[in-house]
Amino acid sequence: MSVGSGTPLKRSPQPHDHTTNLKLRKLAFEVLEWSAESARVVREGRLFCLAPDSNNWTRRGRSLKMASVHVLLITQGSFNIV
């Protein structure tokens, strides 16, 4: 698998299947206290983050440790294309 530039993608060691994504969406709507009918998931996927550790910025030549989190961008209201 590769991106348009030819760079290979790394596969997740724990891939999210369709039922996991549905559970995460349901949990997000419950946390936000929004109904699934009044809100829309615009984007979802993995986001890689660095821990807020000062050593991450001062170490040269060492690989940085990234944490993977699953994120959802959810909007509420109608969706109109202009």
Give the model confidence (pLDDT) of 65-76 as tens digits: 778 888 999 998
So what's the pLDDT on residue 1?
42
> What tokens appear for 75 in the block?
């909007």
Whether residue 5 lies inside any domain: the answer is no
**Among 48, 39, 41, which Cα is nearest to 70's?**
48
**pTM given for the model:** 0.58
- What is the CB-side half-sphere exposure of residue 27 using CA atoms within 13 A? 9
Whether residue 22 lies inside any domain: the answer is yes
- Count the domains in the chain: 1
- The number of beta carbons lying within 10 Å of the beta carbon of residue 28 is 19
Q: Which domain holds residue 31?
A: 18-55+63-76
Q: 10 pLDDT exceeds 70?
A: no
Whether residue 11 lies inside any domain: the answer is no
Intra-chain end-to-end CA distance of the chain, in Å: 35
